[in-house]
Amino acid sequence: MVDTLGVAVIGFGWMGRVHTQAYARVPHHYPQLALRPELITVAEEVPGRAEEAAAQFGFARTTRDWRDVAADPGIRAVSITAPNFLHREIGVAMAEAGKHIWIEKPVGLTADDARAVADAVEKAGVRSAVGFNYRNAPAVEAARALIAAGDIGTVTHARIRLFSDYAAHPESALTWRYERERGGSGVLGDLASHGADLARFLLGDIASLTADTAIFLPERARPAGATAGHSRAAGGELGPVENEDYVNCLLRFASGARGVLEACRVSVGEQNNYGFEVHGTRGAVFWDFRRMNELGVSRGTAYQDQPVSTVHVGPGDGEFGAFQPGAANAMGYDDLKVIEAHRFLRSVAEDTAYGATLTDAVRSATVLDAMVRSAESGAWVTVDASS
């Protein structure tokens, strides 16, 4: 028997729209799921935006105050896609109100923020999901299985990259993303948080690291009104960029493997150039988000001059079969969020964790905090494995 789950979305920028679309698509890809999401309320403080969302997607109610969501007993699950500085307050309030939460990374401004939300979730006995969507790619899950099976031998070193040009334009508006008080870190929270999660997902815990950060565009124009996504503000009053555009980090894993994590939000000529290369004693595996459904795989006993084969993932890999019938039929970014929504709803239905949870958010945030300390001190920093 199929039950309905009343859901709300708090914050309706681009990511709020992505969550909403994912809820709408879940029943089509996972018809056997025991819970069907019902869109109850959209909360957004920008005038008119919630009403537009309700008209387009069918939310029953709108509000400009997210606290109305906490007070509504008909809402059992909440997507939190508001700006970073609101994650802790909203996340804790929703957990205390008995709501299951699907929250976007990095879950607040620091590891303390992420830990506060995680503690509230545990105390309330509700379920959680976190927006580490790249780990949901079937090719990434296939790479993890290949590594765990020892197909490339013992992992020796890896490189994880996240390069984008979304903030490269000098007229990009000085939104909350560039402010310490509201955005926290810059490219660390936005992109390197994904990198830290991928590193752990593929290779296990990070033991220590050393990091270097830089701000390449030190001033941006203040916007005249509400913004969405990565808006421009030509001619506006200039203000300082307070958080980093770039990070380069050397990693030492608990396994003894070495790694490099590099991320930049102002990389001219790069559009979502995200991926990894993992090398082992007998081979290697390569993934590029822009060719999301492919893996480059080198394995065998040649060692020297060993070729790399292109492998197209298919229905036997991860959640691919819920979307496409055969290998080389492409999946896209939004499909990864449908997988995330499904795992969240399944966690609620079965009272068992599936996919990335707030435990993963805390561990990623702990790595980011270590990067901040290392960039300030110039030293190697131990990552707290107990988080």
- Where in the chain do CATH 3.40.50.720 domains reside? 3-133
Task: Check if the beta carbon of residue 160 is closer than 8 Å to that of residue 260.
Answer: yes
pLDDT at position 176: 85
pLDDT computed for residue 36 by the predictor: 95
Q: pLDDT at position 170, please?
A: 87
Amino acid in position 131: G
Residues 209-262 have pLDDT tens digits of 999 999 999 999 887 655 555 677 666 788 999 999 999 999 999 999 999 999
- What pLDDT score was predicted for residue 75? 98
3-state class of 74 per DSSP? Answer: coil
Identify the CATH assignment for 3-133 out of 3.90.1150.10, 3.30.2350.10, 3.40.50.720, 3.30.70.360: 3.40.50.720
Give residue 70's pLDDT: 98
Q: At what angle do helices 49-57 and 14-29 cross, to 10 degrees?
A: 20
In percent, the amount of the chain with pLDDT more than 70 equals 96
**pLDDT tens-digit profile of 40-64?**
999 999 999 999 999 999 999 999 9
Q: Which pLDDT score is estimated for 183?
A: 86
pLDDT for 15? 96
**pLDDT of 1 over the 80 cut:** no
The DSSP bridge pattern shows strands 35-43 and 3-10 to be parallel
Q: Give start-end residues of each CATH 3.30.360.10 domain in the chain.
A: 135-329+354-382
Q: Which is nearest to 39 in space by CA: 50, 23, 55?
A: 23
Query: In the prediction, which pLDDT does 175 show?
Result: 87
pLDDT of 222 reads 86
Query: Average pLDDT of the chain?
Result: 95
Tell me the mean pLDDT in the region 308-314: 97
Mean pLDDT of 121-138: 98
pLDDT of 305 reads 96
Q: Which CATH class is domain 135-329+354-382?
A: alpha beta
